[in-house]
């Protein structure tokens, strides 16, 4: 599973930037929000991703048949599910699944312990918005989830180049995921922030 993922990518130049900067994964929003792209756009962008970087499709409450079509057509190697997908739904996905958990309370993660997921992604809770809010939640919540969940735990929500090192060290998560924290505007990445975020995150994991 990846350590550093840059999500909400919409442009070829940002794919190339992120690969060059050393990220482990790139996320493409397929379902909703200002960073949503079409399957045709995703397919073209995924072809630019180097073999050592994982293309991730980010889906929200998609019908299972559609999710499978998107995976095959776009070439996603992993999917990140941000909706109300059940454990049974996750088991039918043909590639590794990252199940997002919106941390409304310190114990929200407990309901997901029996999911067959390759990893869990802890994200902040915001009514009506599934990710990319730039809002964080308490690192102590993440630290407890890391101890109790059965698979690798990734963290999103409010991360940026200035706080990612400290947050990783405080929460002991396996990996991090960022979107708005490295942007000029939704879907448009800031090269300096991308490079600094990846550098600081990998420094934290090495130490």
Q: Which residues contact 204 (CB under 8 A, 6 or more apart)?
A: 164, 165, 166, 168, 169
Give me the percent of the chain exceeding a pLDDT of 90. Answer: 82
Q: Which two tokens stand for residue 69?
A: 């079509």
- Reply yes or no on whether 177 is catalytic: no
pLDDT value of position 157: 87
pLDDT in tens, 144-171: 899 999 989 999 988 999 999 999 999 9
**Sites in the chain below the pLDDT cut of 50:** 131-132
Q: Catalytic site residue 7?
A: yes
Per-residue confidence (pLDDT) for residue 12, from 0 to 100: 98
- What is the model's pLDDT at position 152? 94
- Greatest Cα pair distance in the chain: 43
Say which residue the tokens 């949503």 belong to.
36
Query: Cβ(60)–Cβ(83) under 8 Å?
Result: yes
CB 18 within 8 A of CB 9: yes
Q: What pLDDT does residue 80 have?
A: 97
Cα gap 101→103, rounded to integer Å: 6
Cα–Cα separations (whole angstroms), residue 180 to 159, 177, 194: 8, 10, 11
Confidence at residue 143, expressed as pLDDT on a 0 to 100 scale: 87
* Residues in the chain, total: 207
> In angstroms, what CA-CA distances link 187 with 14, 37, 140, 164?
9, 10, 30, 20
Give rounded-to-5 percent helix, strand, coil for the chain.
Answer: 35, 20, 40
Whether 155 contacts 175, CB under 8 Å = yes
- Active-site option among 24, 74, 90, 123: 123
Residue 177: is it exposed, middle or buried by C-beta count within 10 angstroms (0-12/13-18/19+)?
Answer: buried
Using DSSP's 3-state secondary structure scheme, residue 89 falls into helix
Enter the pTM of the model.
0.92
Taking the C-alpha atoms of 9, 11, 17 and 22 in order, what is their torsion angle to the nearest 10 degrees? 30
- The answer to whether 135 and 169 are in contact (CB under 8 A) is no
Domains for the chain: give ranges and CATH numbers.
4-206 (3.20.20.70)
CB 8 within 8 A of CB 26: no
């Amino acid at each position: 599973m990846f350590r550093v993922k840059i999500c909400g990518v919409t442009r070829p130049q940002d794919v190339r930037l992120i690969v060059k900067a050393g990220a482990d994964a790139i996320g493409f929003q397929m379902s909703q929000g200002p960073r949503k792209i079409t399957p045709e756009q995703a397919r073209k962008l995924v072809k630019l991703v180097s073999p050592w970087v994982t293309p991730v499709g980010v889906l929200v409450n998609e019908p299972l048949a559609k999710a499978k079509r998107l995976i095959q057509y776009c070439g996603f190697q992993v999917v990140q599910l941000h909706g109300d997908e059940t454990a049974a739904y996750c088991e039918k996905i043909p590639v590794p699944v990252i199940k997002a958990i919106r941390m409304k309370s310190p114990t929200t993660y407990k309901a997901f312990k029996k999911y067959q997921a390759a990893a869990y992604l802890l994200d902040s809770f915001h009514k009506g918005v599934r990710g990319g809010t730039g809002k964080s939640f308490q690192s102590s919540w993440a630290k407890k989830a890391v101890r109790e969940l059965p698979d690798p735990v990734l963290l999103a929500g409010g991360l940026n180049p200035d706080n990612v090192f400290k947050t990783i060290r405080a929460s002991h998560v396996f990996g991090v995921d960022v979107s708005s924290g490295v942007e000029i505007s939704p879907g448009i990445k800031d090269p300096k922030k991308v490079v600094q975020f990846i550098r600081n995150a990998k420094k934290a994991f090495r130490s």
